[in-house]
Structure 1
Amino acid sequence: MTAKPSVLFVCVHNAGRSQMAAGWLRHLAGDRIEVRSAGSEPADQINPIAIQAMAEVGIDITAEEPKKLSDAAAQASDVIVTMGCGDTCPHFPGKRYEDWELTDPAGQPIEVVRGVRDEIRARIDKLITELDG
């Protein structure tokens, strides 16, 4: 792992789960950990309900945009967290992988998205503890 660990969050559309995870990690770890997010098939915009759920906890992800997953982003990351992208996520030898099974917030009501947001927060807390070592 590099001196400053880096984490890449990947989901299909890079519009919900991966954006919320990146928002949490930036918020909780500050500049101690480099944060990236991407999608195998990026959407046109971030899910407005995900934006709303994150705003409720004081995290603004409105400036983010869904990004296409690139080999360069994956290769530059120490930890790659996948969220429901299955076989569309590439695998790079020597990387630490985690697969977080989370409900896709697309088309879900705010109550469901809040639950996903809170579950992501718990996983981010654990990841930060591991990376801070």
Structure 2
Amino acid sequence: MKKIYFLCTGNSCRSQMAEGYAKKLLSSRDYIIQSAGIESHGLNPKAVQVMLEDGVDIHMQTSDVIDPVYFAAADLIITLCGDARDNCPVIPPTSTHVHWDLEDPARATGTAEEVMNKFREVRDTIKVNILALAEAE
């Protein structure tokens, strides 16, 4: 089984959405999937809401900091923001590292609908990227 680790700053939005899509769209027989952050900011309810809109329930996922044991054993490490890319531990030589530079939807400003649309935009980009991973296998 291949281990995938999605990393972002606070493990509240981007990496949580990536974990949810990966668990839904990649074979559980072939992958172990986790997400974490440089810090733990708690699961963002807006991320939960936009994922539910697309049929993926992430409300039971937890916001975690990087687990050094899982990190060292991960086959694929995907950073979803510059902060995670720049501040995560040195990528193990046995791991493949991919970087998806995604805006933090939790920092979106504007009306409630504009903020939710930013969450949807980031969600949709993550889904496209996860589908590309599935096709590559």
Q: With structure 1 as the length reference, what TM-score do the two structures score?
A: 0.90
Structure 2 contact 37–65 (Cα < 8 Å) conserved: yes
Structure 2 contact 79–98 (Cα < 8 Å) conserved: yes
Distance apart, 1:129 and its partner CA: 2.0
> What is residue 72 of structure 1 aligned with on the other side?
69
Q: Does 1:87 align with 2:67?
A: no
Over residues 43-75 of structure 1, what are the superposed CA-to-partner deviations in whole Å (9 max), with x where a residue is unaligned?
A: 1x2111111100001111100111110211111
Q: Which ranges of structure 2 fall in alignment gaps of 5 or more residues?
A: 109-114
CA distance in 1 between counterparts of 2:75 and 2:135 reads 15
> What is residue 96 of structure 1 aligned with on the other side?
96
In the alignment of these two chains, the number of paired residues is 127
> What is residue 34 of structure 2 aligned with on the other side?
36
Distance apart, 1:110 and its partner CA: 0.6
CA distance in 2 between counterparts of 1:75 and 1:86 reads 15
> What is residue 15 of structure 1 aligned with on the other side?
12
Give RMSD over aligned pairs. 1.1
Structure 1 consecutive aligned stretches of length 4 or more whose deviation exceeds 2 Å: none
Percent identical among aligned pairs is: 34
Distance apart, 1:107 and its partner CA: 3.6
Q: Which ranges of structure 1 fall in alignment gaps of 5 or more residues?
A: none
CA distance in 2 between counterparts of 1:83 and 1:89 reads 11
